[in-house]
Structure 1
Amino acid sequence: MPTPTPSQPSAGQPRFAQSPIGQRMRADTLWNYFQHSPMPLKVVSRHEDLVHHNAAFGRLLGYDSPQPIEARRAQDIVFPDDLGRLNQAYEQVFQGHREHAKAEARLMHQDGSLIWVQGLIVAAPTQASKSRENPIYALVICVDISRQKEVEQRIEQSERMRSLGLLASSVAHDFNNILTVLASYAGLLRADLESEECDKALGFLNKIDTAITNGVTLTRQLSDYGCESSAKVIDLNEHLQNTDSMLSGYFDQNFSIHYELAQGPAPIRVAPGKLDQILLNLALNALDAMPDGGEFVIRTRAVELQPGALNAHPSLSAGEYLVLEVCDDGEGIPFETQSQIFDPFFSTKTKAGGSGLGLAIVYSILEQLGGAIYVDSVPQQGTTFRLYFPRAELPAPPRPEQLN
């Protein structure tokens, strides 16, 4: 049986076919498997040139089987917002830090739509580089996860609405306290004005203004949480301090909340509403784990993961991160179920109302951000969740206006 010839080559394909790895693939059945695999496959060079792809990859993006994709650069078919994490995964492989890496990105279909794809990037040794330490090429195995992403978004929206109902209940309680303050000072103001002691009346008016400002802040928090918001660079520590009143509404006098925040800037790129959702889900988990009260600790720290530390953090790439640790001294999680807690619909709650989606949503959000979440828990001693957020670049300060 003759070896099939490749489809009409793009500019990079003849060069690849004549390369050592191309000749080796032609020399055995691997070429056959590559060309006719139902899995979308592509080969990328260390310069991120798209040097070859099979028919299934072409079909994934809406091209006819014999027609190669015209783009010569792998990044030309990737949605711009996803280039950062995809390039990071390529670097891990081509710099020899890992033999393989995973990344999710949106690819641009021929009709202009976007397709969510998960790619497994595998170092491909050649005769010039027989080891996988400095590969010239990488094989990328693609899986269409568009449907999965759609389901995740629906689940996330459902969980957000459930959390929003709980948040609204807490805000209503706090807002009622504010209204009580307003009513009290309004009564005092009325009595004072009737006795013509206007100096005290101004003091009461100032307190009313302060109470109104607090009410506006609470309603803005509720509005921001319920709406979709775009990712932006925020300071993690500053955001935690601003949401203290939101979290405090869930814990009564039997609980104590402590903050241990790292010194210096803590920039991360995230939608503020999603960060609030993460905090709320973890706070509710801690609340369930401490039915008789306890201590809830939130701390942050900055870390830099070196390539040698990646075995302990398999979901992360080397680089700088901000770590958010959320701790409680509650009942803990049984060892036999700790590997399942991030699965959708898995719940250890015996009370009605637990959807089993909270931690799955947190996991999904961190994964989308290029981060990860880990858990350390000892039954009857407590639980610590460690959330890794990639450190973001601080926005450049505005340039001073030049006056002539």
Structure 2
Amino acid sequence: MLKFSIKDIVLGKNVHIPAESDYRKSLLVGVSCIILVFVSTVNGLLNIIFWDISLTSSFMVGILGGTLGFTLNRFRKFELAKHTLLLIALFFVFIFMSNEGKYYGSQLYLFTILVASISLFGYKRVKVWLFYAVLAFLCFAISEFTNYKLIVVDAINEAKEDKIYFLNYFFTFVSLIIIIYFQVKLQYKSEQKLIKKDLQLKESEERFRLAVEGTNAGIWDWENINKDQQWWSPKLYELLGYKPEEIEPNKMAFKNLLAQKEDFPRLVNDFKKHFRNKEPFSVEYRFKCKDGTYKWFHGSGQAKWTDDMQPIRMVGSLVDITEKKIKEEEIQEKNSLLEKSNAELDRFVYSVSHDLRAPLNSIQGLINISDTTDDTKELKQLMSMMKNRVKKLYSFIDEIINFARNSRTEIVKEPIDLISLTTEVFENAQYREQAAAIDFRLLVSENLIVHTDQGRLSIVLNNLIDNAIKYHRHSQPGKFVAIKSIEETNSVIIQVIDNGQGIPLQAQDKIFDMFYRASDNSKGSGLGLYIVKEMIERIGGEIYLKSEPGEGTTFSIKLPKE
């Protein structure tokens, strides 16, 4: 079964007019043309059959004019169709008005024409429909106050006049009803579409809001780039710890929130690159939050350009990537440590193999010599030399064990009475070789407590004291080794001071390197001071060196109190 709608009749099937207002006006033009043709046809037939008035040609103007307007409208010549319809209708009505129209009631059609002109051109095109209003008024004035007639019609009797007046009134009334009905109906449909679009927009906004909240992203909208008009979403304020009324969204507020002011020029440059070259906008920077903490954010956005490629608007997002950055820094730190450990391991394996072989080869050589002699004195001397080599091996093995433990053993912080620990270190040192003639001075404050790893600190102090004894000027009088404490607000400085040989200037920058020996006369393995530095850093401290060759050396260890 075929179905036809008013739209199909007036505009044709499968015709799409994008603008809603243009669609309504074109539909109204077609309907008005049909009304003009209908009124002209009905009046023409009545004239031929009943009234016998010489206006057949005038009715033909209405029929042909309405048909022409309908055809133009059908072929999408909407503007021309509107003017054609209104001009033909005015001409048609003027013919009857100029022939005693006030008795026929023809002037009533002027109201229909005025309503149609306003509906067809809209309230914004005031000049156009005012033109037709003035034209309609001139037609009325000419017919009312002059004797000018386009067509002369013979007088008709009163009975016919009443019928013609009634028909004109009826057609005017029906025409107005139809025009108003179409306007109301089309307006209703437009409102329904707007309501539907509004619901769809709300649903879309809800989906967008849920999506944004799920991604922990704050949205910013640079509504007018030239005037710096911005909008920040509630989530963006929440990420920064602020309320919307506390910060006005603009460029200056954005700049003040940056943790590092030097980031702002870089950020401006990234914006310019995006505006100029349409490069992707993707940056990372830190913001200072209201509570004083710092957060890393990833910013991205997309600008909108005018036809002449000028940026007018930009919308983007800020995503909190603080946890990601922390993990990246942790990975980077671990990679650095791993690289360092690998490099140290290579050196460690090489040096250990060398330092273990040297005393073993020496012992093997002494054993071979002892096999060739029976002299008791010589054998005693060889045994003493072997004992020294074994002692050196034990010392080296102890250093290796300390090195391994430092990297693998957990830090155990506990309150330590510093004077008790340093007293114990000195007591152990007094029984070492060449320590008898050295004056051990304890310059540590009473009741000074430091929270740290006691085992590591003990190894560090023993190592430094042992070096001070080894490299003293043993032929000189007045030798001393001192441990001194300096208390600061949040830290404690422990100094190991001696007036021994000192360290050559060229060696001081490398003294803490693994397996570094300051000179060929060095008696150690080169691990001792490296282990000292590693242990101090593991417990959160720092170590400094001050030394003058021939004057002495001071090692300063700075540790946090807590």
Q: TM tier, shorter chain? A: 0.3 to 0.5
Larger relative contact order, structure 1 or 2 (CA cutoff 8 Å, min sep 6): 1
Please identify the structure whose Cα radius of gyration is greater: 2
User: Which structure shows the higher strand fraction?
Assistant: 1
User: Which structure shows the higher helix fraction?
Assistant: 2
Q: TM-score, normalised by structure 1?
A: 0.46
